Amino acid sequence: MLKKIIIGIVAFIVVILIAVASIPLLFKDTIVSKSKTAINNNVNAKVNFKDVDLSVISTFPNLGIELSDLVVIGIDSFATDTLANIKTLELNLNLMSVIKGETYQINSVNLFEPTIYAKVLKSGKTNWDIVKADSTITTDTSKTNFKASLQEYSIEKGNITYDDALLGFYMNLKDVNHTGTGDFTQDLFQLKTASDIQHLTVKYAAIPYLNDVKLVADLPIDIDMKNMKFSFGDNKIKLNELLLAVTGSLAIPNETDMLIDFKFDAQQSDLKNFLSLIPGVYASNFKDMDASGQFAFNGFAKGTYNETSLPAFDVNLSIKDGKMKYAGLPAAVNDIQVNANIKNPDGVIDHTEVNIPSFHLVFDKAPIDGRLFVKTPTSDPYVDMALKGKLDLKQLTTIFPMKDMTLSGILDADVQAKGNKSSIDKQQYQNFYATGQMLATNFVYTGAAVAKPVSISSAKMTFNPQNITLANLSAKIGKSDFAANGSITNYLAYIFNKNQSLGGTFNLNSNLLDINELMGPENTATAKVDTSKLTLIKVPANINFLASVNAKQILYDNYNITNAIGALQVKDESVYFKNMALQMLDGTVKMNGMYTTKDPKKPFVDIDFGIEKMSIQKAFATFNTFKLLAPIAKYTKGEFTTNLKFNSLLKQDMMPIYSSINASGLTNIIQAVIDGFEPLNKLAVGLNSDRLKHLEVNNLLTKFNITDGRLNVAPFNIKKGDILMNIQGSNGIDQTMDYILAINLPRAMLGKANETANNLLASLNNKVGSNVAVNDMVKINALLGGTITKPTLKLDLAGGLKSEAKSIVNQLVEDKKAEFENKAKEEVTKLTDKAKDQIQQKTDTLKKQVDQKVKNEVKNQLNNFFKKKATPVDTTKK
């Protein structure tokens, strides 16, 4: 009996285990189907997940659901935004609710490695508002298959971004670990949260108030679900090393408003804890920093937050008798005194005021003093500021730890400004007070932020409301040197208004500008400038500068430019060249035109060049376009002059897109020698004349244009001794050729063919008693095709000779006709009038017989000659 009982119990347990284990299999399809149906029916978004995994044993007494690679992508305005990308979403459902099959109760939600991006457009539209207007997801849980009965939730290794373009607010949280526990089924309950955020950044109006700060918080929240009110109990919030306490409440009475009532206070008045929030200070050596002084930070926020208003707030920060010093460094920042207040009495943004009546600190022994007051920031910003101090920059290296950099020099500043933005908008500069100057002397900086050492031996900027005057600037960056003076205009409008241009006029002089070095790698012993990897130079927007330039030497890419003078204007994201003149490649170049990056994906250049007496060989070695479209230059020594109109799109490495080049011009080859050019070698072989392998040209004028990647040459003449060639055609980037040559050359160059022709003509003259001479020159048509390195040649020799033979036959016939006519006339005069008719008939018959005899004889002899000698020349082999 006992044995049967034990067997029965074991069997029962096995059945139960099998039943429990089979639940995922039995309900998986149903749950997946209902999940996808619920999602698709209730959201305006693209939702997808890779897989679903169900479990009971590991989550008992709950049913565990895991969605893998859950992605939620918006539509319409947010079609390119991913609202959520969650590696694993884990839901724990009440097992009995699943078995009953009516409403699924969700007890917990866990997110693993979620990336969440919440976005608000300037219109106020949000990307998380994806629930359909007629969605069954309502407060009436009887209309949905799912019911939230949460007891806990968690986020592990999350990344969350909130980007609000309407309010200019941005918050980013990286490496988020967060848990919350509480009974969400109750109307009143306490939610206990714990947060550990490794990287927190908060910006408002593009100003970073918290930048990459670590946040640790234990924050219990009393929740009133009916009134949507959240009250904060005893809590600890730690920002880096600063410990804060926050009390108050947050309520959401409707869809648009948020009622805020907060108070906060720093619980520790240690200056060092506040300094930990300053970017760059909170580093590995922060713990070794000695800081002292009294620090206070407190405030409140109370009122309604929505699209049009802020809560009233008042924030105070003060530092008294502060001092900070890094261990191991000899100097300190002493006597830090700061009082700052930011307040808004009623939540109207324009009533916000920022007031720092004074701040004072001493870098070692150099004092810095200033003040700042700002009000009416939206209607008509008013500013009252001052800054005065003289700083030996080398002292900073004795105060702050600076690795891999050097800094020295004197900065002396004394500037003040006071007035409303409206005075600047109306150009009523007399109502805006701005004065002062800044001096830099013997400034030197080297470090990772610059490619080459920066040295400013002297510079002076003087301020007034209309402009900033720059005087006595003398500087060096690496090997490049600058000397400049000028003025900057409209700087206040540029600062206070969007889309206002900053104007300026300058005189710039330099002995050497090494652009390659300025754009290249850091200054190391082994670094070499890689000019093959030049990058696009983006012309800044909202800049209108005009500069007269006088540079004795400029190095850019593989160009060595000297004596560059002219004017450059930077305007509308473009650079305009005005009467620029420079020397390069043994010649002089004059330029007028522009380079623009209005569309940075399609940079464009349009320039008129005037080039005088430039080396052909050096131009070929320097310009890629020259190499591709004028390959004959490789085999040409000499110089040329040209007027060229050139425009082209550019690639991101500043090189032309050859298929987009449009150019035209007139070139004068002043003096040149062509030797070793394969197409000429081919022509010389075809014409049996080595003289054509080596050409000398002088003052050769030719028109050309470049379109669709081909150089098109208008007809021009070249004379080589007693050979005259008329040339026209084109060649392309792909090195293909298509040229037509009309050649006049001496008959003597035809060799044996010419000798046979002379013998034949002498024989004909003897037979018919004539004295016809052959033309010493013969015309030949040549077609050059193929490629530059593998040219093809077709010659039309027979056509020219046959044409000449025909003229010889006609001349012989005419000569004999004249002879017989004279003889006939003599005979006629001896006869009587009675025999004239008979004599005329006899004469006509005789003429016809003689004409036909001469023609037949000449044609037979010439046809025999051409059948033997005047076959086409085979030039396919050299």
As a whole number of angstroms, the distance between CA 271 and CA 251 comes to: 34
Answer with the one of 128, 147, 167 that is the final residue of a domain.
Answer: 167
Give domain status of residue 571, yes or no.
yes
556/695 same-domain check: yes
Residue 165 confidence (pLDDT) above 90 = no
Q: How far is Cα 407 from Cα 324, in angstroms, rounded to an integer?
A: 20
Closest Cα to residue 393, out of 417, 421, 366?
366
- Angstrom distance (rounded) from CA 606 to CA 663: 10
Q: What integer pLDDT is reported at residue 184 of this predicted model? A: 79
- Give the span between the Cα atoms of 186 and 590, in whole angstroms: 83
* pLDDT at 152 exceeding the cut of 70: yes
Asked whether residue 11 is assigned to any structural domain, the reply reads: yes
Same domain, 715 and 767: no
Q: Which residues pair with 544 in a beta bridge?
A: 503
Determine, yes or no, domain membership for 770. Answer: yes
What pLDDT sits at residue 741? Answer: 92
Q: Are 259 and 285 in contact (CB under 8 A)?
A: no
Domain boundary residue, one of 150, 167, 184: 167
Hey, which of 54-58, 398-402, 593-597, 864-868 has the most confident mean pLDDT?
593-597
pLDDT at 51: 78
The larger pLDDT score, comparing residue 469 to residue 815, is at: 469
CA–CA separation, 261 and 304 (whole Å)? 9
Query: Nearest to residue 318, comparing CAs of 271, 377, 267?
Result: 271
Determine how many CB atoms are found less than 10 A away from the CB of residue 154. 17
Are residues 664 and 593 located together in one domain of the fold? yes
Mean pLDDT of 649-667: 90
Domain that includes residue 505, residue range: 482-522+534-720
682 shares its domain with 813: no
State the pLDDT at residue 581.
95
Same domain, 543 and 605: yes
- The partner residues of 222 in beta bridges, in order of sequence, read 190, 231
800 and 704 fall within a common domain: no
**Is residue 656, in this structure, part of any structural domain at all?**
yes
Single out the residue of 265, 323, 325 nearest to residue 298, CA to CA. Answer: 265
More confident residue, 576 or 235: 576
Radius of gyration for the chain, computed over Cα atoms and rounded to the nearest angstrom: 47
Q: Is the pLDDT of residue 354 over 50?
A: yes
Q: Which residues of 436-455 are buried (b: 16+ CB within 10 A; e: fewer)?
A: bebbbeebbbbeeeebbebb
> What tokens appear for 799 in the block?
């056509």
pLDDT tens-digit readout, 453-498: 999 999 999 999 889 999 989 999 999 999 999 999 988 888 887 7
Is residue 741 a contact partner of residue 727, using CB atoms and an 8 Å limit? yes
Q: For residue 9, what pLDDT band results from cuts at 50, 70 and 90?
A: very low
Regarding whether 613 and 569 lie in a shared domain, the answer is yes
pLDDT at 15 over 50: no
2 and 135 share one domain: yes
Co-location of 3 and 85 in the same domain: yes
Lowest mean pLDDT among 279-288, 417-426, 700-709, 721-730: 279-288
pLDDT in tens, 735-749: 999 999 998 888 777
φ and ψ at residue 547, rounded to 5 degrees? -130, 130
% helix, strand, coil for the chain, step of 5: 25, 50, 25
- pLDDT value of position 812: 55
Question: Are residues 654 and 550 part of one domain?
Answer: yes
Q: Give how many domains the chain has, as a whole number.
A: 3
The answer as to whether 366 is a domain residue is no
* pLDDT surpassing 90 at residue 754: no
Got the DSSP string for 710-737? EEEEEEEEEEETTEEEEEEEEEETT-BE
Instruction: State the Cα–Cα distance between residues 10 and 498, nearest whole angstrom.
Output: 80
Mean pLDDT, residues 785-803 taken together: 76
What's the whole-model pTM score?
Answer: 0.61
Is the pLDDT score of 807 beyond 60?
A: no
| Distance, C-alpha 472 to centroid of its chain | 35
783 burial (CB, 10 Å; 0-12 / 13-18 / 19+) is: middle
Tell me, what's the pLDDT at 279? Answer: 67
What is the identity of the amino acid at 809?
V
Average pLDDT over residues 75-93: 84
Are 157 and 191 a contacting pair, CB within 8 Å? Answer: no
The set of long-range contacts for 663-667, using a CB threshold of 8 Å and a minimum separation of 24, is 663/705, 663/706, 664/703, 664/704, 664/705, 664/706, 665/609, 665/703, 665/704, 665/705, 666/642, 666/701, 666/702, 666/703, 666/704, 667/640, 667/641, 667/642, 667/701, 667/702, 667/703, 667/704
What is the spatial distance between Cα 160 and Cα 177, in angstroms, rounded to a whole number? 11
**Separation in Å, CA 210 to CA 119, 263, 274, 278, 372:** 20, 19, 12, 8, 21
What's the pLDDT score for residue 236?
Answer: 83
Dihedral angle computed from the Cα positions of residues 409, 410, 411 and 413, in that order, rounded to the nearest 10 degrees? -170
Question: Which of residues 865 and 67 earns the better pLDDT score?
Answer: 67
- Per-residue pLDDT averaged across 210-238, rounded? 88
Q: Is residue 417 part of a domain?
A: no
Question: For residues 158 and 412, what is the distance between their CA atoms, to the nearest angstrom?
Answer: 47
* Higher-pLDDT residue of 439, 25: 439
Give Cα separations from 126 to 119, 202, 670, 723 (angstroms).
6, 19, 70, 81
Residue 404 has pLDDT above 50, yes or no: yes
Q: Is residue 193 one of the residues assigned to a domain? A: no
**In 3D, which of 119, 125, 60 has the Cα closest to residue 93?**
60
Q: Would you state the structure tokens that stand for residue 605, as one six-digit string?
A: 């250049």
In a domain, 726, yes or no: no
Helix (H) or strand (E) holding 837, with range, is helix 836-869
One domain, residues 707 and 778: no
pLDDT over 70 (residue 379): yes
pLDDT in tens, 860-878: 655 554 444 444 444 444 4
Verify that 588 and 716 share a domain, yes or no. yes
Q: What is the per-residue pLDDT for 275?
A: 82
DSSP-derived secondary structure for 257-318: -EEEEEEEEES--BHHHHHTTSTTTSSTTGGGEEEEEEEEEEEEEEEEESSS---EEEEEEE
A 10 A CB-CB count for 361 gives 20
Q: How far apart are CA 795 and CA 872, in angstroms?
A: 7
- Of 239, 167, 159, give the one whose Cα is nearest residue 203: 167
**How much is the pLDDT for 13?**
41
Least confident of 312-321, 494-503, 851-860: 851-860
Q: What proportion of the chain, given as a percentage, has pLDDT over 70?
A: 76
Final residue in a domain of this structure, among 104, 138, 167: 167
